Structure 1
Amino acid sequence: MEPCTKILKFLRLSNLPHYTTIPKKFFERLSDTQIRYLNDFILMDHPKKSELIALDGTGHTNDYADKYYAQIRAKKRKGYTKNHIAIDVDTRMILHYGVSRGPKHDTQFALAAIRQTKKYQPHYFLADRAYDSEEIRKCINEETLAFEQIPLKTRAKNGHYRLNSSTIFRPKIYSRRMNVESVIFVIKQIFSGINFSRNDKLRNKETKLKDVLYNFYRHVQIF
């Protein structure tokens, strides 16, 4: 954050707090709307057009107890928070995010992400097989006038856009979807794939804040 004087002014900070400071009360009082506004502020320098937008989702573990402790509690599966992101493939900035308590299917996020990012006038939306549905393909083709690059889960037997998807699928373009996986990797490596908050509301907020902090990090690198 130190090189970003605009962001410091936006947060009304005259001095950057030391990294060892843990502002627990500030975090609890920080609203989801403020986090969203902060992300929008960072994206002000982003180009108004994005040729390729990629979608993906991942889980952030909520329970950080070790396996032995989990066995004692007879808890085989740890809870997690689902983090969905839509990125600009070229800049690898997060253009839209959605967070919910897992498990949630990726398609529930996809429609909102597509509609929120169509203002960037993309030519293609890239996503893996988890997003293969007629509803998602229809939304991309009819509402954004873009093309989907989504592999079929199985051989399509119905659905206009699913049946015609093979004619517009371009493996070379689809291969660039790996950039969204790189973004997810960076978020987990730098900001941790574990949430330490103790309730769902704060866990969701913690995950959203990681997405925004990633955009801080990326913004400093490219702008």
Structure 2
Amino acid sequence: MSIYPELGQLPLDDLMQRWHKGPEGAKEYAASYYDELVWLLREQGEIGIKFLLSQVGNSDTDQLAAILEMLPPIGPRKTMEKIWERFLDDSRPEIVASTSDGLRKQHSWWIRDRVYALRNHSSPYVRGSVLRYMSQLDRKLASVMLIEALADPHPIVRENAIDELDELGVIHAIPSIKECLTDQNSHVRQAAQTAVENLEELAKDDRHSNYFIQR
């Protein structure tokens, strides 16, 4: 369900004006606002996509992050890859994380070494985005990274790791995830509870009978 249903009724010119005007109210809603605008503008076809690409050099952090993450997979691949390569080393964590997520959505594995190199980034948002990227690229390597990330000092990263282990169906991670059931952060505890339930249900399948599950 749209957070800004009124935007969906606007023609292209008005969407462009809203892009420049920005959201009304608190800045904390800006990210969601621009995510939705990018989605609506790209749905306008080539004209909307060209407009978004023209804004890359003139956008603030929230606008640029939305373009980097939300434009694919409809955006022109080669153009987007040049843009992503440029911003993967940006000084703003939000931009680096959105770049990594954009690369993941476009299945751009050619730059995997540079994304992997960000796994120990100072920002938890970047570390989380690297986990999401690697989870789609290399299941075996990602499984190791994700289990290690359960001990990350930031709850955002721990929650990301649990969600990805759940999504990948990594049954042998159940004992490690169970340790997060007593995490200090409520979101991490909830993610762990859901993951344990899902993975234990998956483990009942005979196809996974060779996995050891610690109960």
> Normalized against structure 1, the TM-score is what?
0.28
Higher strand share: 1
Higher helix share: 2
> Normalized against structure 2, the TM-score is what?
0.29
